[in-house]
């Protein structure tokens, strides 16, 4: 894959309802490193939408705090938080500045940089089945990409000069499935989880790391 074939998603892509952004992110690429020094890439195969003030499961539901400020804009920024004290989760802010909303990246399919991902994850790649351990789950993918709150929170995902960004390589998705969200306690019945059905990297109901 040539870096010139990767086109950064414009900010307008993220300046929409999180449900539309979530569906549109399937098949896009999560890229680590600026365009001239790309280190790893992976295809987005599972995401969840969070709707801000109207969504009890959203971090922004009770208003703006120092922790969730990125969700209030501008759109296209990385929102990274720590869960259970040892897993980072990656989200992207959506909607116009001042209106909170976001999409959680739950799973991606590695395309390049698998050896780097495996080293970060402590996984021995003895066969194709071992690749699933790299990025199948929100905690796994952030560890594989070296994503932390200190380094990446607020990172501009709509800029190819950023250390973390979202690209379109022309891939077209089929067999999209929409289900209730998983791994949460509130508003878990809402059908706001979007995935590529049949993709082996889609995470399991309880898989975080």
For residue range 163-208, list pLDDT tens digits in order.
999 999 999 998 999 999 998 777 777 899 999 999 999 997 544 4
10-14, 113-117, 205-209: segment of lowest average pLDDT = 205-209
For the chain, what is the mean pLDDT?
93
Residue 129 lies in a domain: yes
Rounded CA-CA distance 60/58 in Å is 5
Q: Is residue 203 assigned to a domain?
A: no
Q: Which two tokens stand for residue 171?
A: 């891939």
Residue 86 has pLDDT above 50, yes or no: yes
pLDDT of residue 128: 87
**Does residue 26 contact residue 44 with C-beta atoms inside 8 Å?**
yes
| pLDDT band at residue 107 using 50, 70 and 90 as cut-offs | very high
Whether residue 155 is predicted with pLDDT greater than 80 in this model: the reply is yes
Residues forming a β-bridge with 136:
107
Would 204 be classed as within a structural domain?
Answer: no
- Residue 135: pLDDT above 60? yes
Instruction: Tell me the mean pLDDT in the region 142-164.
Output: 97
Q: Is residue 122 part of a domain?
A: yes
Q: What is the CATH number of the domain that holds 140?
A: 3.10.300.10
Q: Is the pLDDT of residue 4 over 70?
A: no
pLDDT on residue 209: 39
Residue 7 has pLDDT above 80, yes or no: yes
pLDDT tens per residue across span 18-75: 999 999 999 999 999 999 999 999 999 999 999 989 888 899 998 899 999 999 989 9
**Domain membership flag for residue 205:** no
pLDDT at 2: 67
Residue 22 lies in a domain: yes
Domain count along the chain: 1
Residue 148 lies in a domain: yes
Buried b (16+ CB within 10 A) or exposed e, 4-34: eebebbeeebbbbebbebbbbbbbbbbbbbb
Q: What's this model's pTM, rounded to 2 decimal places?
A: 0.94
pLDDT > 70: what percent of the chain?
Answer: 96
Domain of 98 in residue numbering reads as 3-196
The answer to whether residue 207 is domain-embedded is no
Say if strands 193-196 and 7-8 run parallel, antiparallel, or are unpaired.
unpaired
């Amino acid at each position: 894959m040539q870096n010139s074939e990767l086109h950064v998603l414009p900010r307008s892509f993220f300046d929409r309802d999180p449900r539309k952004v979530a569906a549109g992110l399937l098949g896009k690429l999560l890229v680590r490193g600026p365009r001239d020094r790309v280190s790893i890439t992976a295809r987005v195969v599972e995401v969840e939408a969070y709707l801000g003030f109207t969504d009890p499961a959203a971090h922004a539901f009770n208003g703006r705090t120092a922790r969730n400020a990125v969700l209030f804009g501008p759109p296209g920024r990385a929102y990274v938080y720590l869960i259970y004290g040892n897993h980072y989760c990656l989200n992207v802010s959506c909607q116009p500045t001042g209106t909170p909303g976001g999409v959680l990246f739950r799973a991606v399919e590695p395309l390049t940089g698998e050896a780097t991902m495996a080293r970060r994850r402590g996984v021995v790649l003895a066969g194709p089945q071992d690749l699933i351990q790299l990025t199948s789950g929100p905690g796994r993918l952030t560890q594989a990409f070296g994503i932390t709150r200190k380094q990446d929170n607020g990172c501009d995902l709509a800029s190819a000069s950023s250390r973390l960004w979202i690209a379109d390589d022309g891939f077209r998705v089929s067999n999209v499935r929409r289900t209730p969200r998983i791994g949460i306690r509130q508003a878990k019945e809402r059908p706001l989880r979007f995935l590529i059905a049949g993709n082996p990297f889609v995470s399991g109901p309880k898989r975080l790391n």
